[in-house]
């Protein structure tokens, strides 16, 4: 079968469209023929060696949508079932294996394109909003990097939950109208959000801030986080670590919470099935939609990575397999 492999870390030219062996299933696993896979920011970091150790040949990719083509007796799935999944190894491949605990059926009404756009970003966004931040309608919240995959989901799900004030940040003013259409009330750039949040909250600050950028953005976020507020830290797309001091939380009664879907997939996978069911229903009922920025062929994965690195897109980038 065909897959994208890399034998070293580096720029997009390390991604090679190659022939590899089709993986074989064992206990509690199924084999999935991939229709579409998504490109996540984590893939960029993994490709250039900022996330993984060198276990080559390496295939990137966190999630996919496709069809079950092989399983074992007593499987909870049937051949031909349409599913989304988090495979063991990378999803930039024609076929992948996944543990059944990380495979979720999708309804016929959901296209493979839309289904492939959602697994990582929608399940993550739902957990961040409802389990980690426990948002309330009366909250004022900040969503950083709101035009990306996770950001697009956070804004829509927060709006759906009735959050009263949604501030969103973007890297370029070109993305403002996209994020407004998703449901954000105030869209700003990283250099203006502190003033905008303070101005619009009677100088009190936001109750919840979702930070996937880190570096300076974490520091600035603490300048506009309200007393008793929570900073939810779940990524570092700036490439820098953020710095948090004990004095940032003590007298202000503020919280810093972290979350990783990767860690949860590995150590607590059972937690994901009920959330997957909920977000699939939200997509099925068109209560949320993830705009697809561009679809590339699997063989053009390097071009897809270049688009992500340009930051010049809105929504989700997919690979057609």
List of residues contacting ligand NAP (CB under 6 A): 40-42, 120-121, 124, 145, 147-151, 170-172, 175, 212-213, 234-235, 237-239, 259-262, 311
Residue tagged 């970003």 (tokens): 121
**Nearest distance from residue 132's CB to ligand NAP, in Å?**
10
**Nearest distance from residue 169's CB to ligand NAP, in Å?**
7
CA angle 306, 280, 235 (to 5 degrees): 45
- By beta carbon distance, the residue nearest ligand NAP is 148
**Nearest distance from residue 40's CB to ligand NAP, in Å?**
4
**Nearest distance from residue 25's CB to ligand NAP, in Å?**
26
Q: Which is nearer to ligand NAP, 30 or 135 (CB)?
A: 135
Instruction: Please count the other Cβ atoms lying within 10 Å of the Cβ belonging to residue 239.
Output: 11
CB 318 within 8 A of CB 37: yes
Q: CA-CA distances (angstroms) from residue 205 to 212, 215, 230?
A: 19, 20, 11
**Nearest distance from residue 176's CB to ligand NAP, in Å?**
10
**Nearest distance from residue 131's CB to ligand NAP, in Å?**
13
> What distance in Å separates the CA atoms of residue 146 and residue 70, rounded to the nearest whole number?
38
Reported in sequence order, the residue ranges of 6-91 that DSSP labels E, i.e. its strands, are 16-19, 29-39, 64-70, 82-85
Q: Which is nearer to ligand NAP, 149 or 242 (CB)?
A: 149
**Nearest distance from residue 120's CB to ligand NAP, in Å?**
5
Structure-block tokens of residue 104: 């979720």
CA angle 116, 106, 144 (to 5 degrees): 45
> What distance in Å separates the CA atoms of residue 17 and residue 314, rounded to the nearest whole number?
26
Q: Which is nearer to ligand NAP, 31 or 275 (CB)?
A: 275
Q: Which is nearer to ligand NAP, 165 or 175 (CB)?
A: 175
> What distance in Å separates the CA atoms of residue 248 and residue 224, rounded to the nearest whole number?
11
DSSP string, 216-262: HHHHHHHTTEEEEEEEEE---TTSS-----GGGTTTTT-EEEE--HH
């Amino acid at each position: 079968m065909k897959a994208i492999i890399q034998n070293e870390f580096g720029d997009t030219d390390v991604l090679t469209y190659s022939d590899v062996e089709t993986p074989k299933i064992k206990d509690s696993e199924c084999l999935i023929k991939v229709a579409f896979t998504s490109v996540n920011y984590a893939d960029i970091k993994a490709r250039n060696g900022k996330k993984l150790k060198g276990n080559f040949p390496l295939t990137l990719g966190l999630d996919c949508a496709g069809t079950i083509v092989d399983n074992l007796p007593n499987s909870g799935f049937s051949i031909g079932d349409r599913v989304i999944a988090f495979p063991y190894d990378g999803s930039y491949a024609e076929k992948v294996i996944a543990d059944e605990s990380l495979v979720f059926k999708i309804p016929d009404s959901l296209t493979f394109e839309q289904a492939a756009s959602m697994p990582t970003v929608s399940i993550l966004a739902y957990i961040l909003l409802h389990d980690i931040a426990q948002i309330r309608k009366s909250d004022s919240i900040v969503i950083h990097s709101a035009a990306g995959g996770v950001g697009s989901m956070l804004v829509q799900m927060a709006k759906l939950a009735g959050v009263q004030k949604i501030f969103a940040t973007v890297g370029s003013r070109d993305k403002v109208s996209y994020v407004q259409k998703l449901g954000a009330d105030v869209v700003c750039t990283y250099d203006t959000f502190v003033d905008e949040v303070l101005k619009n909250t009677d100088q009190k600050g936001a109750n919840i801030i979702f930070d996937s950028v880190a570096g300076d953005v974490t520091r600035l976020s603490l300048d506009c986080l309200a007393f008793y507020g929570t900073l939810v830290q779940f990524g570092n797309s700036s490439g820098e670590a953020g710095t948090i001091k004990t004095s940032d939380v003590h007298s202000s009664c503020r919280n810093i919470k972290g979350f990783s879907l990767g860690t949860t997939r590995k150590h607590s996978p059972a937690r994901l099935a009920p959330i997957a069911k909920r977000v699939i229903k939200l997509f099925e009922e068109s209560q949320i939609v993830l705009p697809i920025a561009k679809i590339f062929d699997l063989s053009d994965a390097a071009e897809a990575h270049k688009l992500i690195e340009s930051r010049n897109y809105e929504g989700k980038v997919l690979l057609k397999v």
